[in-house]
Amino acid sequence: MKFLEYTPLDSLNDFLGHVNFGERTIKGCLEAYSCKHTGTDKKLSLSLEHEILDYLGKSSDTDSSSPAEYLLSRSSRKTLIYLVLTLYHMYPDYDFSLVRAHQFFTEESWDSFKQIFDTYMFEASKEWVETNGGNSLIEALYKTLDEVVKLSECEIYSYNPDSDVDPFLERGSIWSFNFFFYNRKLKRVVSFRFCCISNLVADGFLVDDMGYNEDGEIFDDMDM
């Protein structure tokens, strides 16, 4: 996988890098990657493939919704490997299990993505129009993604891991979403993660003033 630089992504990233609303901040980042193997990708791909085959050899699942059923398809395995390789390049120090990662990926449509985006990025979208005028934020995003990965040919995946194994999760996170736009023909994928962070927690105010204990609980010293 090779990181690709695209000027259209830069303007969106500049805006989404830090949209501050006082007590909370909305952040987003778009990254494009080529699916051509570089460096240790080939070795890692073989390792991931062996992990799948080992899992399939031990699995007795027959449910059509089970990981085994999905991973029997070579095309599905290849897509999943590319997505996991993208995760590795985004977080090189994190160890992703491919079989477990499958449980966190969900195939989406543009409409389902747009519904989530419009709901959670409403305030950021208003800020975009006030700052830039012209097209809405979702229109600018569509145009940019279409230019980079041709949306009409894309498969769209959301990635929603458990919080204890989520490398995207930031301190003070209120909500977060991770999407991947994969063009099989172009062998190219764009990752898009966006989240909302509590500035009070991120800046340490709640920790300092209210006192987190080791289990992450607050209000321990308050009479309830």
Does pTM top 0.85 for this prediction?
no
Compute the mean pLDDT over every residue in the chain, rounded to the nearest whole number: 82
Q: Label residue 42 exposed, middle or buried (CB < 10 Å: 0-12, 13-18, 19+).
A: exposed
Higher pLDDT, 98 or 124: 124
Tens digits of residue pLDDT in 131-173: 988 889 999 999 999 999 999 999 999 988 776 667 667 788 8
Rg (CA), the chain: 20
Q: Label residue 146 exposed, middle or buried (CB < 10 Å: 0-12, 13-18, 19+).
A: middle
Where along the chain do its domains lie?
2-58+66-201
Tens digits of residue pLDDT in 9-52: 999 999 999 899 999 999 999 999 998 887 788 888 888 878 77
Query: Is the pLDDT confidence value at 2 over 70?
Result: yes
Tens digits of residue pLDDT in 90-109: 888 777 766 566 667 888 99
Query: Is the pLDDT confidence value at 127 over 70?
Result: yes
Identify how many contiguous H helices and E strands the chain contains and give both numbers. Answer: 10, 7
Q: ∠202-203-206 over CA atoms, to 5°?
A: 85
CA distance 66 to 103: 9
DSSP H/E element including 106: strand 105-108
User: Confidence class of residue 79 from pLDDT cuts 50, 70 and 90?
Assistant: confident
Strand-pairing partners, residue 177, are: 194
- Got the DSSP string for 150-161? -GGGEEEEEE--
67 φ, ψ to 5°? -55, -40
CATH domain 2-58+66-201 topology? Protein Transport Mog1p; Chain A (3.40.1000)
According to the model, what pLDDT value does residue 203 have? 64
CA distance 112 to 121: 14
Tens digits of residue pLDDT in 175-189: 999 999 999 999 999
